Amino acid sequence: MALWIVFALMTAAAIGAVVWPLARKPRGVAAGNEVVVYKDQLQEIERDRAAGLIGAAEGEAARLEVSRRLLAAADMQSAQASAPASPPQVRWHRRAAALGVLIVLSVLPIGLYLALGSPNIPGQPAYARANLPPGHESIAALIGQVEERLARNPNDGAGWEVIAPVYMQLGRFDDAVMARRKALALNGETAARDADLGEALVAAANGVVTDEAKRSFQNAVGRDPQNAKARFFLGLADEQDGNRDAAAAKWRAMLKDAPADAPWLGLVRTSLARVTGQPPADAGPTADQMAAVQNMPEAQRIAMIRGMVEKLADRLHADGNDVEGWLRLVRAYAVLGDSDKAKAAAAAAKRALASHPDEIKRIDDLVKGLGLEG
């Protein structure tokens, strides 16, 4: 509030410098002094002409010019003497009006701002205000409050932890990197914090997994081998380095270990399809798709199912490292009643996955569950 008082005083001083002369009585022209000067000049001209310092013609011309000026000064003196002076009441009203203008122009804007404005809301960076979506002004106010608190207490690890994901959502990636680093330094290293820092570094580098980001992801996997974020980005680093096979191996391992409801399954499958040049693993018929076609006419239903199954079989014979695809193919043949093809698909799957005993066990368990043994 003290700042607003200073601004008000400065405004009053500026307005006063302009308005105050309006309240003052105009000064009269010093015509009386000019009359005396011109009379002295006439006498001096007569002395110079008598002494022969100037000729008669020059002296007469000078006398006429000074006389003209003398008459003009005398007329002005006479007019000032005869003009009525402003009464004291008029002068007082003039000063009162000037003082009223000064007070209104100084106080009114401040009063309006205090009544209609928001002087207690903290300032916000122009960048943050200009880049927020419509309706997010309250978020900007909250960010401003957190930033103000962190400016006062830069060792508040919890505050940096809170604001870092907000910076990520707003696209302020450099700020997010700074916040992630501070959170990691103040709160201690964990797999999640290492992976979050790596993610912010990738975002700040326009999607490139930099060397620093890669080290962060490796640190995260070292602390938690199942950290999905770090595993995915390490696969992306392999892809960007031109090592598509290594990227595919990492992402296949993720799919193998993934819970059925993992939110990142679609992203990993799409990425795997990108590096292998094959459709995603869910391109074959799912259980829901198989159930949905049961109400179709028999011939159409069988044709549609077989088309999907054959498409899946062709892909798996070209790239047999997808255990989920083999499991789906065996189930599809079993649903169609093609036990021989189901057994053949299981045998082909075990050959393709010969170096992965855990995945072969999943194939054997499915075969046993479908009653395809023997």
Q: Is residue 4 over pLDDT 60?
A: no
Alpha helices in the chain (DSSP H): 2-19, 31-50, 56-82, 88-116, 126-130, 137-152, 157-170, 173-187, 191-204, 211-223, 228-240, 244-257, 265-276, 287-292, 298-318, 323-336, 339-352, 357-369
Cα(47)–Cα(53) distance, integer angstroms? 9
Higher-scoring residue by pLDDT: 72, 316:
316
Least confident of 15-24, 104-113, 114-123, 141-150: 114-123
**Residue pLDDT, tens place only, 30-42:** 555 676 777 777 7
The DSSP annotation for 308-346 comes to HHHHHHHHHHH-TT-HHHHHHHHHHHHHHT-HHHHHHHH
> How confident is the model at residue 115, as a pLDDT?
60
The type of residue at 42 is L
CATH classification (class only), 282-369:
mainly alpha
The mean pLDDT of the chain is 76
The DSSP annotation for 50-69 comes to HTTSS-HHHHHHHHHHHHHH
Band the pLDDT of 209: cuts 50, 70, 90. Answer: very high
> How confident is the model at residue 322, as a pLDDT?
79
**Residue pLDDT, tens place only, 84-139:** 555 555 556 666 666 666 666 666 666 666 665 555 555 555 444 445 455 444 67
3-state SS, residue 195: helix
> How confident is the model at residue 90, as a pLDDT?
53
CATH architecture, range 136-277:
Alpha Horseshoe (1.25)
**Fold: same for 136-277 and 282-369:** yes
Cα(143)–Cα(167) distance, integer angstroms? 9
Q: What ranges do the domains of the chain cover?
A: 2-116, 136-277, 282-369
